[in-house]
Structure 1
Amino acid sequence: MKILIVEDDPTVANFIYKGFTELGHLADLAQDGKKGLTLATANSYDVIILDRMLPELDGITLLNTIRAANDNTPAVILSAKNKVEDKVKGLRSGADDYMTKPFAFEELLARTEVAASRNKSASPAITELKLGDLTLDLINRRVTRDNQIIDLQSKEFKLLEYLLKNAGKIVTRTMLLEKVWEYNFDPQTNVIDVHISRLRNKIDKGFSYPIIETIRGAGYLVSEPKRP
């Protein structure tokens, strides 16, 4: 499993991190809610383990934010708040499970495995994105259009992946800065224009119809192409 641990107590965080990594799992560690949100939105995890009371951004707000973005990564809340109303609020915010501190690692492991496996059985991992004659292979990191292999740089691939995952929706420049470049501010550069131009030259130029459409004053749109 690949796990995100969001916990501000260094002793507890290191205990959980060590427990999972010793079993061969991959884990990222964030010690505040803001960093946890950044990692959660920039990466793909099998499960998130998070405390409720976190600096910068509390666990409930973090969870509400990723759920609002249609991110259904399983989440296990681990908290010292043990009242029934606390557990109910945590579960209603989108948590799959709620454990109270102190806890036994063996139980945390079991609950985490159950949450991760439940998600996998409900929604198989997406390995390929398609739009018209364009195919993006997420496993082999390969792009083809009309059976022609297209060589993309890492950032171009990530940009195209995000656009395809949001096919049919307008993607704003702010969304691209946050999700592709991981900026939470506008750097006041033309970095998006440059990469969109390069991407268009590779996936649109020379083909019978364009895939990326500029929506003036709003952003960009990719949708099932209307052939001429």
Structure 2
Amino acid sequence: MSLNILLVEDDGVFAQGMAEELRGFDHTVTVAADGREALAAVDSQPFDAVVLDRMLPRIDGISVLERLRSGNMTLPVIMLSALGRSVEKVEGLEAGADDYVVKPIASVELNARLLALVRARGWTAGSADTIRAGDIVVSPTRFRAWRAGTAIDLGKLEFKLLNEFVANADTVLTRAMLVERVWGYDFAPTTNIVDVYVRHLRVKLTADGGEDPILTVRGVGYMLRG
């Protein structure tokens, strides 16, 4: 199983060494050096798991955890710390960590813990936190979307429209269905509002040169190819 991991560690030497070792297990690893970078990274792209140092500059690990959980973030988090007393472990777990590991730890053990945690939690890109269709990932809880790992800047209605498409990938959605689910109307509007927003969405989804994933089904509506 290959994971997309966020490693949050302010010790640059340790972070780079651990990142390289985890990449040796076929994982993709992004390194953040402090709490603010960690929160920005989580906001900018989807991860399968986070390895989070407890003692960080700017925003400490406990605070990062509390912010993630208060925002209904469900992705697995392993807290990594030199502080190993029971009271410190309990504090980390109560803040929302799924596991608490005391440094130093061998990369093979950390890898095993990550894989076991992801399997045990049943966390996947199709869970409550994110849904996926092809290379498009949407987080309904964070109102964020990405294509091929790049964040897409969407307005509220554009996001709701994309979320509806992704949740129903490879299914034709009529204009009436989209009007009801996205705009909340139970009647067909007299304007071409759906077509206008689909055009806006297409522009943003193909801004980096990607293929248009939205198929027009003439006389019926639209379908997102998954």
Give the TM bin, normalised by the shorter chain.
0.5 to 0.7
CA drift at 1:102: 1.9
- What is aligned with 2:125? 125
Aligned residue identity for 2:22: F
Is the CA contact (8 Å cut-off) linking 2:125 and 2:132 kept in structure 1? no
- What is aligned with 1:56? 58
2:43 corresponds, among 36, 41, 44, to 41
- What is aligned with 1:94? 96
- What is aligned with 2:74? 72
CA-atom RMSD in angstroms: 3.5
SS at match of 2:73: coil
SS at match of 2:79: strand
1:1-228 alignment to 2 at 5 Å?
Answer: 1-119=3-121, 121=122, 123-126=123-126, 138-139=133-134, 141=136, 161=138, 165=140, 181=153, 207-208=175-176, 211=179, 222=182, 225-227=185-187
TM-score by length of 2: 0.61
- Cα 1:137/1:32, change in 2 over 3 Å: closer
- Cα 1:137/1:77, change in 2 over 3 Å: closer
Count of aligned pairs: 166
CA drift at 1:211: 3.9
Give the distance between the partners of 1:140 and 1:113, measured in 2 at CA: 23
- Unaligned ranges ≥5, structure 2: 146-150, 166-173, 189-226
- What is aligned with 1:218? none
Give the distance between the partners of 2:9 and 2:111, measured in 1 at CA: 16
CA drift at 1:98: 0.6
Is the CA contact (8 Å cut-off) linking 1:41 and 1:66 kept in structure 2? no
SS at match of 1:27: strand
- Cα 1:209/1:18, change in 2 over 3 Å: closer
TM-score by length of 1: 0.61
Give the distance between the partners of 1:7 and 1:140, measured in 2 at CA: 29
What's the % identity of the aligned pairs?
A: 29
- What is aligned with 2:220? none
- Cα 1:126/1:56, change in 2 over 3 Å: same
**CA deviation profile, 1:203-226 (whole Å, cap 9, x unmatched):** 9xx9447649xxxxxxxx946652
SS at match of 2:67: helix
